[in-house]
Structure 1
């Protein structure tokens, strides 16, 4: 549990003050969690070397007496069995060879067939099962790992996409007489600092921002309680997602003791009652990690997509975008910025979005990268400019005309 001290807690600053971020790498604390770019410890099966691959090959080799069969791929073995079945079927139809072509034992000799190559074996496989899917089965390799829930992963994300329809946000700022869009951006920028300094999961940050937006869409809030709303939203999200969430005193400390303990607890109850205790809101970060796995993107490409997605948290005009569509568009833009191709049939299958469905949002995200950063909103750009995050914030965006040419090719 973090202690309320100058050494272990984020810098105290009031909501109205400009955030102070020093560029000292020695004092920078970066999250080392499974959701961070560095990743968590890699899992492996304890019996990964004990397979029955060699046993199947030995059975094939025993059928050919007197011959030594080397290591073959699974496709080659299937091709040989298919050809052997074809030979057995043709025995009754082939004419017998003359006597001079028989050996002393009276056994008819047959011409040897060449062993099929990998390409021929692949053709034989297609002829055996012509209904092969045109996308990759990305979860087959994880079926034996119970911690990855590969059996239920498609059902889980289909359920999350259905829940998105229950949390559609609309513009609410016109209903807030004492707030404006700039104040919301400054609040989210401060929340990014809190997430990084407390070393919280990124899912916690995304959920906290969602809680703030959904609460403001239903309740009028004054500017003097806006920071209290943000810190309480992080507290609720941390209880929902973290193993060891920060305590109440930590959040009072980061607010520079501007609020009392009773005020924070009262705000917590108020948020939960307003949202009817339904806080399992789908966030873009979870979809983004799933889609990056389906694309088999490397860590740097995923981090670039995370940077684009996290920038949208501060922008009010992205609040009504669905989490799954936003995650898919951020990944597609990252793939294009890294020149790693475009939307594949595999991504279309697992995301449920055609490439043309993402074009409009893709253009807006690219313009967001092109726009001049606000001097008051530095936390996200400074965070992803660090070498731990591969300095993805320094990657230039795609030229607008070049992006339009690429989108024409996609259609």
Structure 2
């Protein structure tokens, strides 16, 4: 129980309070009832000196903090006051006398207000006389004006989590950042791997994402990190699952609020690897990628572009199905995320008979219909191929009612697709 200054603590019957000496409580003074005595600020004889982090607040009025450039500003102010202050203050003083003689009926409060205005007048006149420095913002730093017909963020003006003021700038930055993470087909550099092994790994990662109920962003980022690591380092087929589980662990730490622990990934790998091996692989991946794992993923662009056309949840889910199926194809690794998202959305719009590539999509994505058409054709060819019975995690996932059973929808015919792409 804290001790109140000026009052004795109440002691109940049977209780004992040990007597604390001053040596046991250095710096604490127990005052008894009666008049309070002012405590001296000087330390007692033999006691250590007081050490404060910044300044002693009891002497704050005596301390002057010198900031860089402050002396020059103060000297300039003093020089201005010497030249202009006497004449202005004399003028104000005469005006004050004149006004007081003319209006003798004023109250003392009004006279005090007039004196305060007169005292503040020199500063106001100096501020008014000083020229204001106007800095012109460079053209490349000025905020981009979005046309009214393409403005999709004003409706979220009251939602700070949607960042309506910077949404367009954020996705433009992500699109520029994609150029740093462009990949090519790295399979010829992997003597122990082939595209089928990579597809098996992606299919297994989809199951991991479902079992742990992770975000879709975590899955896409894990696949991106896996591809970037394989593009730089040869990996034996026996370590491919270790690579995939470790990239999923890193992506979970980056995206999830409560990521799974290392023991969870050891469990899903059926204890095929040791804890030290996952930790060592994690450090190896981060060093190989130079700790730059904020890789733009197509899933983020897909949600943005779907918002631009006010696509329904069923249409967005169909586009997500196409985008997740594209993760299995090593030929689409070299396609930028924003372009792949544009192609998946366009294919979903055509499948739903909701039109083609509109001007608002062209404005926000930066791609024209001719840029998106080749990727759409590759996606249609991939989806038209007979499914592999061994790799059915994605199709089973999107055959659920939660995902509107979009995996069972018939694919648009090639003739209808070409008709829309040729417009």
Aligned to 1:9: none
Residue 143 of structure 1: how far off its partner (Å): 1.5
Cα distance between partner residues in 2 of 1:233 and 1:406 = 39
Larger radius of gyration: 2
Matched residue, 2:402: 388
Q: Determine the C-alpha separation between the residues in 2 that align with 1:340 and 1:316.
A: 30
Match of 1:273 in 2: 287
2:275 equivalent to 1:232:
no
Which residue of the partner structure matches residue 111 of structure 1? none
- Structure 1 residue 328, shift from structure 2 partner: 0.6
List alignment gaps of at least 5 residues for structure 1: 1-130
Checking the alignment, whether the CA contact within 8 Å between 1:326 and 1:361 is kept in structure 2 is yes
**Corresponding position of 1:357:** 371
Alignment match, 1:33: none
Return the offset for 1:132.
10
* Residue matched to 1:400: 414
Task: Classify 1:345/1:134 alpha carbon distance in 2 versus 1 (closer, same or farther; 3 Å).
Answer: farther
- Match for residue 313 of structure 2 among 280, 296, 299: 299
Specify whether residues 144 and 271 from structure 1 end up closer, same or farther in structure 2 by C-alpha distance, changes over 3 A only. same
- The answer as to 2:184 corresponding to 1:170 is yes
In the alignment, is residue 157 of structure 1 matched against residue 171 of structure 2? yes
Q: Secondary structure at the match of 2:344?
A: helix
Structure 1 stretch displaced more, 344-353 or 315-324: 344-353
User: How far off its partner does 1:133 sit?
Assistant: 4.0
Aligned partners of 2:248 and 2:306: how far apart in 1? Answer: 26
Q: Which residue of structure 2 aligns with residue 324 of structure 1?
A: 338
Matched, 1:376 2:390: yes
Larger RCO (alpha carbons 8 Å, 6+ apart): 1
**Counterpart position of 1:112:** none
Shift of 1:366: 1.1
Distance (whole Å) between structure 1 residues aligned to residue 192 and residue 390 of structure 2: 19
Q: Is the 2:356–2:421 contact (alpha carbons within 8 Å) kept by the matching residues of 1?
A: no
Deviation at 1:135, TM superposition (A): 3.1
Is 2:221 the counterpart of 1:217? no
1:190 maps onto 2:204 in alignment: yes
Q: Is the 8 A contact 1:134 1:345 kept in 2?
A: no
Distance in structure 2 (CA, Å) of the matches to 1:367 and 1:175: 26
Report what 1:262 is aligned to. 276
Please list, as runs of the form range in 1=range in 2, the aligned pairs for 1:19-168 lying within 5 A after superposition: 133=147, 135-168=149-182
Q: Which runs of 5+ in 2 are unaligned?
A: 1-144
Q: Deviations over 1:183-216 (max 9, x none)?
A: 0000000000000110000000000000000000
Q: Which moved more, 1:171-180 or 1:237-246?
A: 171-180
Q: 2:259 aligns with which of 236, 242, 245?
A: 245
The separation in 2 between residues aligned to 1:345 and 1:378, in whole angstroms, is: 36
Quick one: distance in 1 between partners of 2:300 and 2:417? Answer: 27
The count of residues paired between Structure 1 and Structure 2 equals 279
Partner residue of 2:296 out of 269, 276, 282: 282
| Aligned-pair CA distance for 1:261 | 0.2
Output the TM-score relative to the length of structure 2. Answer: 0.65
The equivalent position to 1:339 in structure 2, one of 343, 353, 361, is: 353
Deviations 1:332-389 (A, max 9, x none): 1100000011111111111111111111111111111111111221000110011110
**1:136 deviation in Å?**
3.0
How far apart in 2 are the matches of 1:228 and 1:312?
22
Separation in 1, partners of 2:383, 2:149 = 31
What CA distance in whole angstroms lies between the structure 2 residues aligned with 1:150 and 1:400? 38
* In structure 2, C-alpha distance between the alignment counterparts of 1:404 and 1:208, rounded to whole Å: 34
With structure 1 as the length reference, what TM-score do the two structures score? Answer: 0.67
Partners of 1:305 and 1:334 within 8 A in 2: yes
